[in-house]
Amino acid sequence: MHCEAIWSPLPKERYPIAKALRGEPYENMYRYVERPGGTRVLCRPEVTVLRDAEGKVVGAVNVLIDLNLVPSARPSSADQAAAPEAFPNPISQLTPRERDVFEGIVAGQRTKSVARNLGISPRTVEIHRRNLISKLDVGSIAELVRLSLQLRP
């Protein structure tokens, strides 16, 4: 399985289905797909080429598999180890303080408890929480917890 830099838009001519329809070799790459609401989902396209009796390409079927819904379909550790730059850990983009707040939130602590444990004000925790939710592109605390579970080895 080919691992591609997943945050950059893929030019249409490089879509696996476009290559398949042109008769070129293609690879089903892991990619983030942005939904209309702006959330991103890690997907893997599955392209099936349709051929006539003579073997001529007459069409193709493209299905995007949401890897969050199929845990066994997620990229393997070997895939991630082979090309770690293609699977960046989103937590790495957080500041150290945002990581501390992230850990407190996913541990189930309330804002005041996180603030007390870190020696900062509850308002500062709220600001860090808002920033990390934005950086991690999640819409709720539940999605944040789900992301933390997916990132655990």
Question: Domain range spanning residue 28?
Answer: 12-86
- Which is higher by pLDDT, 38 or 136? 136
What distance, in Å, lies between the first and last C-alpha atoms of the chain? 20
Residues 63 and 97 in one domain: no
Helix (H) or strand (E) holding 63: strand 57-66
* Judgement on whether residues 82 and 17 belong to the same structural domain of the protein: yes
Task: Indicate whether 55 and 99 sit together in one domain.
Answer: no
Residues 78 and 125 in one domain: no
In angstroms, the CA 11 to CA 1 distance is 19
pTM, to two decimals: 0.45
**Which amino acid is residue 22, in one-letter code?**
R
- For residues 104 and 44, membership in a common domain is answered with no
For residue 5, is it within any domain? Answer: no
**Per-residue pLDDT tens digits for 8-55:** 677 888 888 888 888 787 776 677 777 777 777 777 778 888 888 898
81 with 95, same domain: the answer is no
Q: Are 136 and 129 in contact (CB under 8 A)?
A: no
76 and 94 co-located in one domain: no
CATH label of the domain that carries residue 123: 1.10.10.10
Do 120 and 76 lie in one domain? The reply is no
Dist. CA 17–CA 25, nearest whole Å: 10
Instruction: Please provide the average confidence, as pLDDT, over all residues in the chain.
Output: 76
Residues 80 and 119 placed together within one structural domain of the fold? no
Number of structural domains found in the chain: 2
Q: How confident is the model at residue 3 (pLDDT cuts 50, 70, 90)?
A: very low
Q: Which residue has the higher pLDDT, 40 or 123?
A: 123
Q: Which of 2-6, 33-37, 99-103 has the lowest mean pLDDT?
A: 2-6
> Percentage of residues in the chain with pLDDT exceeding 70?
76
Please indicate, yes or no, whether residues 20 and 74 belong to a single structural domain of this protein: yes
Last residue of some domain: 43, 60, 86?
A: 86
pLDDT of residue 128: 92
Q: Are 30 and 67 in contact (CB under 8 A)?
A: yes
pLDDT band of residue 124 (cuts 50, 70, 90) is very high
- Looking at 48, 65, 86, the residue that finishes a domain is 86
